[in-house]
Each structure stands twice: as C-alpha cells, then as structure tokens.
C-alpha cells in the first residue's frame, strides 16, 4: 500500500461536503465509467475483508489535519477558563508540521483555517408548459452551497494498493471527477475542481499505538484497545448516483460510523488505514444494487497522545 496526498483547487462552489466516503463512492463510479464494470469488479475483490484497493480521506485545508476527538478532561485542559475552552473548541484544524509532537502542545497551534464558507441561494425549476415557476416541485427553494476563495487548495489523503490501482490512474479518475463535478448539483456547475499535484506522503514512525482517522469509518473493534479510543458517532444516509439514482431506489441502508478525527488505540501496531468494508453481496446495504460497498475504512495518522493518567 502507498500513501499519497492529492492536492486539488476548487473551481466552483460545492453542493456536498468533501467527505471521504462520499469521495470514495464517486471515485468508484469514475473508475467504472473509465475502466469498465469488469475491471472495476476486480478492483472490489476482497474489499469487505480488509483488502481495499483505495482508501480516501475528507477534503482538508492544505497543510492541515482535523482536530482529534479527545475529551478536555483527558488532556487536562478542563480547568481552563470557560471562555478559553470555548475559543479553543472553535479551532478545529492542526498544522501538519506538528504531527508527531505531544498532542497538548500541538493543540496550542490549532486554528480555524477552514477556507470555505456557506451561502444560501435560491433555485427555480421552470415548468415547460407554463414557462414559469409554480407550486410543488416547481416552487422556488433555498439550498446551501459551500464556496471557496480563489486559489484555495485542499488536500485529500489517499492510500492505494499500487498492484491494483496505479498513481496515474488515480490522478486520471480524480481529474474526471473534477471535470464532471462532485456531489449534488454537479450538472448545474457545482463541485468542479482541478488536480494540482499528487505527492508521496511522509510516513512518521509511531511512538505509540494511538492513531487519528481522516475520514468517517467503521472501526474494527477486534483490533482496538477500548481504553484508549474516543469517537463521536455519525449516521451516514448513503444514496446512489448516476443511472441508479433515477431508478426509484436511490437510498442505501443507514450506517453508523465514527466521525472524522476519531482517536483509536490499535492492538496490531502501525498501519496506513483502519476500518472495515461495508456492504457487498453477503451483507447488502442497497436493494437496487446488492453488490454496493460503502467505504468503512479511513486513512490514519499516528498521534502522540500525552493524556492525563
């Protein structure tokens, strides 16, 4: 397995947050369209038994990592002034240069560096007979979009099995996604981006068994020491895209995940990703396409969690 960082530049607003499991889903569609369904099915072989061909992180601010899910009491910062704690909680991003340093000192460099903002826009659907809006599906509606300043860069951490998916192929399909658009309302111009670079990720030697996830994941509980794990639950209500979405059954079964930034203490030592593959023919999560999988894996990075005893 090889760890990479794909840096992209948004070219438009986004209708869907750049979550790792959603990115993986669109990556799958892009691979199936470019390589063919037969080749893609081979890539998925072994996915649900711990052998993913690719694991994708959330889109992160360039040069930053998410703040870990660690209680204030564990870090011995619960005795800070309430206003200080409140200000610190707003700072959700950690500079990647501090990775490997004691977490409490790294936390002092936290920032609210997320470059995007949200805006509410009004959308209309024109009735082709009356030539205007109306009621029901033709009523004007307001939706949120995620906008980015010009020249914003985002990092996507990716772990690939180079024997099944090459780095050039990865760049190609990310380029396909950027041109067609990611997520909601891509057909109306949202979700466009360009790939700026793909570089090998520097792998730090772990001094402990503590790791932080960079995407929502379904932890492999058999590989965890529960005394050193802190997570926040998040429910993913997955939906199909492409032609499956218009077939009357676009929704998948809901899945409970650990939110990005989960702290996991592994029993089996250092690795590049953690989690379990969700779905497949044996445990289907989709009635419309029983072989559907959902990314339950996440790239992970080691952290030096100098927690209070």
Phi and psi at 116, nearest 5°, equal -85, 165
CA angle, corner 193, sides to 189 and 194, nearest 5? Answer: 140
Number of helices and strands in the chain (H, E) = 6, 16
DSSP state, 263?
Answer: E
Residue 238 · residue 25 · CB < 8 Å: yes
d(CA 248, CA 265): 42
Global pTM reads 0.89
Query: Among candidates 159, 155, 207, 157, which has minimal Cα distance to 50?
Result: 159
Give the full edge-to-edge strand order of the sheet including 297-302.
263-265, 210-213, 297-302, 273-275
pLDDT of residue 309: 45
Residue 153 · residue 7 · CB < 8 Å: yes
H or E element at residue 88: helix 82-89
Residues sharing a CB contact under 8 Å with residue 165, sequence separation 6 or more, in sequence order: 31, 43, 53, 54
pLDDT by residue, tens only, the chain of 309 residues: 899 999 999 999 998 999 999 999 999 989 988 888 888 888 888 888 889 999 999 999 999 999 998 887 776 665 667 777 777 778 889 999 888 888 888 888 888 877 777 777 777 888 888 888 888 888 887 888 888 888 899 999 999 999 999 999 999 999 999 999 998 888 888 899 999 999 988 877 666 778 999 999 999 988 898 888 999 999 988 887 767 777 667 888 899 999 999 999 888 777 899 999 888 888 888 877 888 889 999 999 998 876 554
Residue 274 · residue 264 · CB < 8 Å: yes
Angle between helices 20-35 and 167-180 (to 10 degrees): 100
């Amino acid at each position: 397995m090889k760890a990479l960082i794909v840096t992209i530049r948004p070219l438009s607003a986004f209708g869907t947050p750049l979550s790792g499991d959603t990115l993986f889903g669109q990556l799958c569609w892009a691979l199936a369209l470019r390589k063919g369904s037969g080749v893609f099915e081979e890539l998925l072989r072994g996915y649900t038994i711990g052998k993913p061909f690719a694991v994708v992180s959330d889109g992160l601010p360039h040069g930053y990592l998410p703040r870990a899910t660690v209680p204030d009491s564990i870090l011995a910062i619960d005795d800070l002034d309430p206003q200080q704690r409140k200000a610190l909680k707003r700072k959700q991003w950690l500079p990647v240069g501090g990775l490997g340093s004691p977490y409490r000192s790294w936390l002092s460099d936290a920032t609210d560096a997320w470059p995007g903002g949200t805006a509410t826009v009004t959308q209309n659907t024109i009735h082709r007979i009356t030539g205007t809006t109306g009621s029901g599906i033709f009523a004007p509606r307001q939706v949120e979009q995620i906008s980015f300043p010009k020249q914003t860069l985002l990092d996507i951490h990716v772990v690939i099995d180079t024997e099944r998916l090459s780095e050039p192929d990865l760049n190609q399909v990310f380029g396909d996604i950027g041109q067609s658009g990611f997520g909601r309302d891509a057909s109306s111009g949202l979700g466009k981006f360009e790939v700026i670079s793909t570089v090998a990720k520097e792998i730090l030697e772990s001094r402990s068994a503590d790791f932080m996830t960079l995407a929502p994941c379904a932890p492999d509980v058999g590989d965890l020491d529960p005394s050193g794990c802190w997570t926040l639950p998040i429910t993913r209500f997955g939906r199909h895209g492409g032609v499956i979405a218009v077939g009357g059954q676009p929704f998948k079964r809901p899945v409970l995940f650990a939110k990005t930034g989960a702290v996991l203490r592994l029993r089996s030592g250092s690795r590049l990703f953690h989690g379990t593959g969700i779905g497949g023919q044996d445990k289907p999560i989709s009635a419309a396409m029983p072989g559907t999988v959902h990314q339950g894996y996440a790239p992970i990075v080691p952290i030096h969690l100098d927690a209070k005893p």
